[in-house]
A and B are shown apart, each in its own frame.
Chain A
Amino acid sequence: MDGTEIERIYAGICDGDKGVIAQAITLVEDRHDQADALLERLYPHTGRAHVIGITGPPGAGKSTLVNEIARIWVTQGLRVGIIAIDPSSPFSQGAVLGDRVRMRGVSGQQHVFIRSLANRGFLGGLSRSTADVVKILDGAGMDVIVIETVGVGQSEVAVCELAHTVVVVAVPNAGDAVQTLKAGLLEIADVFVVNKCDVIGAENTVRQLRQMLAIRRTPDMGDRPSRWDIPLLKTNALVPEGVTDVVRSVDEHRHYLRSSGLWETREARRVTNEVELLLREDVVPRFLDRARQSGLWDTLLPRVISRELSPLNMAHRLAEIPIIASSNADEKE
């Protein structure tokens, strides 16, 4: 794979060619050595899409709901990208990805692209490449991109670092509702959905959640009061019932972000998170390799062993090594 191949893939993505989009996603998923070049090419053409996270406990009906939401978006003439993430097995690194079972209604439609991802051991309910997959779908001209992810605990809510709008899905069961609250899901919700409102006990749960929402802390406020009242919506995704309200609330939230200036705040947060992750997982390991391979390492090591220098001192001296390899830097060494 070379520059012309990257150019072909780039053009295919911009054309919305599904086969090429799919291939590009595999490249970033596999961390292929040409993936960076592709993303570099693509990045200036991203930033249009409204990115929506849908999270909640397993079995809450997220996939079923995504299918119904997407169905409405399609009738509105929107292009829809769906990223459905499930955990990989910690033992084999393999995964069974079953979200598409519930998405047959929109699967295969011209303006819908669905991709199932395994988190491949990445924490927070996302996969390591999710941000890059979003960029590919964004560059392909998707108006809305949904990320479906399982949210069960504090660490499973990384989706809010990627999404403009977070929809939390709960189910009517007093225990579950409290569980949802404990998991910190309430804190990240921009839109709160109680699905399966056809089952007994739904009214109770909704009442309970309404009280909880009333006393919820509102992040994102900065120094001005937040004017976004988190909607609490009831759905029955099977019928479906109440789904148009979810679609409306999600769109209203986008308007709210845009008109309040919070869109930019969230963009800044998304980029900050991504750059921090890249520094941690990409730049630092590469720097470590360079440091280890530098002559300086071997020169300093005996001096630390003999107690002439401290380990901290050695680390600080190594930190002088340029992080990015360049011919200049090599001359200096």
Chain B
Amino acid sequence: MASHTIRVLLCKTTMESHDRGVRFLATKLRDAGMEVIYLNFLEPVEVVDTAIEEDVDVIGLSSSVEGHVAVLEAVTSQLQTRGHRRVLVLVGGVIPEEDIAPLQAMGVQGVFGPGSYVSDIIQFIHDHVPARV
């Protein structure tokens, strides 16, 4: 029987922050039945390369310093130019209020600040992950 398992690429886009949060989220998504390709740190081009090869449904990026707007800009525009459709892009971390609108404008569908619940992220993925045919 055909059935699709949701695959998620999870990584940080900044080197200096520790990755406890990302690791924790990885195990939670696993417990929710998803397959998580986990990497501690990736450059934007690596994010896109990996997302394409792994054919993920979701890219979850964690960012905890300045610069996430530029990183997300690079990721979303490369996804577009390289024709990788139907991938849900999420970002988590310390995201200032004024960045949210620009992020959403470039196609980042979910922005999850510090106090976010894992259950909300899981629900968001289930609600927004593009259907496969």
Contacts and interface: CB of A to CB of B under 8 A. Distances in A.
Contacts of B71: none
Interface string B90-123: 0000000000000000000000000000000000
B36 A95 contact: yes
Contacts of A101: 38-40
Interface string A1-41: 10000000000000000110111011001111100000000
Contact of A30 (B4, B52, B83): B4
A22 B31 contact: no
Majority secondary structure of chain B interface residues (helix, strand, loop or mixed):
mixed
A94 B34 contact: yes
Interface in A26-67: 26, 29-33
B60 to A, nearest CB: 13
A31 B83 CA distance: 24
A93 B33 contact: yes
Given A19-B52, A22-B53, A97 B37 contact: yes
A142 to B, nearest CB: 13
Interface residues of B, number: 34
Interface string B55-96: 100000000000000000000000000111000000000000
Contacts of A192: none
B31 A107 contact: no
B50 A107 contact: yes
B24 to A, nearest CB: 11
Given A19-B82, A19-B84, A26-B55, A96 B27 contact: yes
Interface of A: 1, 18-19, 21-23, 25-26, 29-33, 88-89, 91-98, 100-101, 104, 107-108, 113-116, 118, 120
Q: Can you list the 4 inter-chain pairs with the closest CB atoms, starting with the nearest?
A: A94-B30, A22-B55, A108-B49, A94-B33
